[in-house]
Amino acid sequence: MPLTLRVILYPFIILLGLLTIGVAIALIVLVLTYPNLPSLEVLTDYRPKIPLRVYTADGFLIGEFGEERRAVVAIQDVPVVMKQAILAAEDDRFYQHGGIDYLGIMRAAGANLLGGGKRQGASTITQQVARNFFLTGEKTYTRKLYEALLSFKIESNLSKDQILELYINQIFLGQRAYGFAAASQIYFGKPLKDISIAEVAMLAGLPKAPSAYNPIVNPKRAKLRQQYVLRRMHELGYITETQHEAALKEPLVVKRELADFAVHAEFAAEMARQITAERFPEDIYSRGMKVYTTLIKAEQEAAYNSLRKGVIDYDRRHGYRGAESFLDMKDFKSDQDEAIDESLQDISDTGDLIPALVLAADAKQIKAYRKGGEIVLLSGDAMKFAAKMLDDKAPPNKRLKRGAIIRLIKDDKGGWQIGQLPEVESAFVAVSPADGSIRALVGGFDFNRNKFNHVTQAWRQPGSSFKPFIYSASLEKGFSPNSVIADEPIVIPASQTGAQAWQPHNYDGKYEGPMKMRTALAKSKNMVSIRILQSIGTHYAQDYTSRFGFDAEKHQPYLTMALGAGSVTPWQMVTAYSVFANGGFKINPFIVSEIRDEKNQVIARSSEVEAGDEAIRAIDPRNAFMMDAMLRDVTIYGTAAKASVALKRQDLAGKTGTTNEYVDAWFCGYQATIAGCAWVGFDQPKKLGDKETGGAAALPIWIGYMSRALKDVPIQLPKAPEGLISSGEGRDRSYIYAENAAKERPPEEETPSPEPKPDLTSPPSD
């Protein structure tokens, strides 16, 4: 063989031999490895971790609990443009390759070689599915081999659409979001089917690096990534030039808070979670269970907004307290520095109270950088609330100046004005007196700031809002709404109380002499309530009020019980007032109607008992009827008269309550179809302020809710039950038990209980 031929042939033979050996080794590895690859059952029987979800009765999501925020979507329900954006960003040859894109590998290798380093990757969607379901993130040749082999196995067992569906539902996209359906809700607050091309491109850019391209954390990087995806979509012919240009110009409104639910019902959702966890303690945060509450979306929304407005209005009545905190302006290069927005991200929004950084401030104008990037200029009425904190005499740590953190809130016309985080707290709960279903519940001003549920956990003095239960007890002792009782000063000597002498007084310090019981309740006369309690006996009253659901031990048998010196929760109060609303039945409020498993099968359902069942009767129907009449007087011409004026109806009933030194403000009331209770006070009890009565602080919250809850409800007045005898006409019309008609007696004085009472200070009443 000629030398030249041998020089050419021998290297070729050696190369061919090495290639043969390599192929043989590869085949051996394949034969040995492929059978040991994991089963694809996890893919063919895909069961992702679905969080526990809580809904209103009318099907709106109000809560989600689980490590992974996920919403599974079928491939046919994914918008075409979303699929196209994913392919453009991650794997444009997905429907052509068999799991490994060799052309993509060569293209990436060439780009990296020319670029002088690793710049591009060529991982296909199939490889990402293999990695996400079966492999770790380590970068080794062994892992790469398994990834390639798994990709081939996946491609040979699943269709392309099945693989893409798995990818769309499983991929991590930041903010605890797994899958594009969940990410659409979390970043844009809308379902996948409703997002725009610009939003689609933003989401499609996330898989490459969820942290680096997170539009909440890194908006500029996210924008650059979005522009790349849009360009690729245009190059691949998925969108037109016009669509490309429009998408580039479209401003993206990214949600910066994790609360992406239809309405604020965080306290109710947490209650539902606790109930479910107690009933089903295993895997409730990954099984995909659904909990349906009794809340009505429109009413919950009304309750939330009304409580927020009531608290903010109260807070504004008591003045501006100054800057919330300060940032060191030396940390920022300019007033438009992106670092400002990053600093403000650490300060949470509290509903509609948005944090902002003061850039400049004087007596005429405040210039502020609002969280989100907007520069806001405030002048005139918009800054009037904070005027005293612009003065040089204001405390340095509260004065509004460059670097101060403030809160902005929209006024009724949509303009920004100065606001502040309230210090006072509040609670509101509404229930159906017919069956006990909770229709609205707001446990505090802001769940994220204070998770203490004031509806169920706050034990407070009820003040005069407790008087109706003393009055109800008296009706069983022979009194009637027209019984005349003296509104005159009274002194209980120390020899009778066992402690110091007690001299209670009326709220306004005025005494009107003998008056009818119904008038005394409407005007909330303390002296009348005390004399009624003296007559019927404190121990009898203590026992009787427990019929309404109150804890007897929290209402000791002393005369101060007539003025609401015991302890109650708003939950107890709304339960108790429901007895008057439904004709005398004690319903048990409940907030969860049913729980469904991952297959949407009902696994638990509430077993409520409806009013009308004599087994749950608490008081005589005649008693409930007369109390209803007296409590309607309160809302027509008494301390809550603005309720009937504001709502323009005569079938409202209820009672205001204010405790000693204006510490607690209440209004509990009802219409035949719904009962509600509002409370306002500080967590660490202190004075709300002069004239901050139940009628001033709490009643507006109740009115705000009822204006929506009773919008389409006709006026309903109860019919007198049998066994009553009526007298008088019009407003003077009254009733008495038939058996007591001939023996109605004036109140008789009773010697007060001899047990000592540590605090006999009289709570004023409104």
Half-sphere exposure for 533 (CA within 13 Å, toward CB): 29
**In angstroms, rounded to a whole number, what is the distance separating the alpha carbons of residues 328 and 512?**
62
Contacts of 25 (CB under 8 A, 6+ apart): none
Neighbouring-strand partners of residue 596: 290, 602
The answer to whether 463 touches 561, Cβ cutoff 8 Å, is no
The active-site residue out of 64, 90, 199, 301 is 90
Cβ–Cβ under 8 Å, residues 377 and 369: no
Q: Is 90 a catalytic residue?
A: yes
Q: Which of 538, 531, 487 is nearest to 757 (CA)?
A: 538
Task: Determine which one of 464, 474, 535, 644 is catalytic.
Answer: 464
- Give, in degrees to the nearest 5, the angle at Cα 222 between 218 and 224: 125
Which DSSP helix (H) or strand (E) runs through 82? helix 80-90
Measure the CA–CA gap between 727 and 737, rounded to whole angstroms.
12
Q: Which of 708, 673, 648, 666 is nearest to 581 (CA)?
A: 673
Cβ atoms of 108 and 115 closer than 8 Å: no
Distance CA(474)–CA(528), nearest Å, equals 12
Name the pairing type of β-strands 52-55 and 290-293: parallel
Nearest 10 degrees: Cα torsion 119, 123, 124, 128:
-130
Could you tell me the two tokens for 329? 């302006």
Contact 139, 147 (CB under 8 A): no
Distance CA 581, CA 468 (A): 13
DSSP 194-255: G--HHHHHHHHTSTT-TTTT-TTT-HHHHHHHHHHHHHHHHHTTSS-HHHHHHHHHPPP---
DSSP bridge pairs for 568: 460
Q: Taking Cα atoms as reference points, which of 132, 129, 131, 109 lies closest to residue 121?
A: 109
**Closest among 79, 81, 338 to 223, alpha carbons compared:** 338
Rounded CA gap, 131 and 436, in Å?
A: 51
Distance CA 326, CA 157 (A): 60
Find all residues with CB under 8 Å of 747, minimum gap 6, and list them.
479, 483, 485, 531, 532, 534, 535
Q: Decide if 610 is catalytic.
A: no
Instruction: Spell out the alpha helix ranges (H) of 37-79.
Output: 41-44
Q: Which residues of 126-135 are buried (b: 16+ CB within 10 A; e: fewer)?
A: bbbbbbbbbe
Phi, psi at 737, each rounded to 5°: -55, 140
**Length, in residues, of the chain:** 766
> In three state form, how does the secondary structure of 595-648 look?
EECCCCCEEEECCCCCCCCHHHECCCHHHHHHHHHHHHHHHHHCCCHHHHHHHC
> Three-state DSSP class for 592?
strand
Q: Which residues are catalytic?
A: 90, 464
